[in-house]
Homo-oligomer: A and B are copies of this chain.
Amino acid sequence: MTDGVAAVIITIMVLELKAPEGADWESLHELWPVFFGYVLSFIYVAIYWNNHHHYFHLVGRVNGAVLWANFHLLFWLSLIPFSTAWLGEHAFMPVPTALYGVSLFMPAFAWLLMQRVIIHSQGEHSPLQAFLGRDFKGTISAVLYATGIALSFVAPWAALICYAVVTSVWLIPDRRIEKMVASD
């Protein structure tokens, strides 16, 4: 399901990359904001898919609550093409910038929620809890996204910097997960 939804999100974004009218460099050049949005969202979806892949290798039993927490995450991920398209058409406008932030904040929040549900389902001595520790990275991401949403109404460019900082933090491989995989 996750694979299918990730493919769906990418499909919808590729569909917005329409072949330009003209056949010269200039008509190609006009596409760059849409292309840039595609690159960013591809990376964003890839980060979630990547971490998701590692998590579900570590989670033995998947009960109903974990499945629903996963659907909740997929729901918010599925809205990213919509908010990316709106931002692409109205760059640096307050409301689209804030909504884009919300569409990044909600999957981050859904991810933290899913971690909680998985840890709860593993009971005491949860291996996921042991490896996550205090999960500074997950918490700081949510805080930075929320800061960005608030900043959208004052200085949209500062909001976009906030969002970019969080994404780059997640691009760095998660040492905890890599260690967990290696010790298997």
Contacts and interface: CB of A to CB of B under 8 A. Distances in A.
Interface string A72-85: 00010011011001
Interface string A52-78: 011000000001110110010001001
Contacts of A20: 86
A7 interface: yes
A25 to B, nearest CB: 6
A24 to B, nearest CB: 6
Nearest to A12: B14
A28 B95 contact: yes
A29 to B, nearest CB: 11
Interface string A1-28: 1011111111110110111100111001
Contact of A50 (B39, B68, B81): B68
A67 B53 contact: yes
Number of copies: 4
A121 B11 CA distance: 31
B71 A46 contact: yes
Given A49-B1, A71-B50, A89-B19, A7 B8 contact: yes
A140 interface: no
Contacts of A18: 85
B90 A23 contact: yes
A42 interface: yes
A93 interface: yes
A124 interface: no
24 contacts: A3-B4, A4-B4, A4-B6, A8-B10, A12-B15, A14-B81, A17-B79, A19-B82, A19-B85, A19-B86, A19-B89, A20-B86, A23-B90, A23-B95, A23-B96, A24-B95, A28-B95, A39-B75, A42-B71, A42-B75, A42-B78, A46-B68, A50-B71, A64-B173
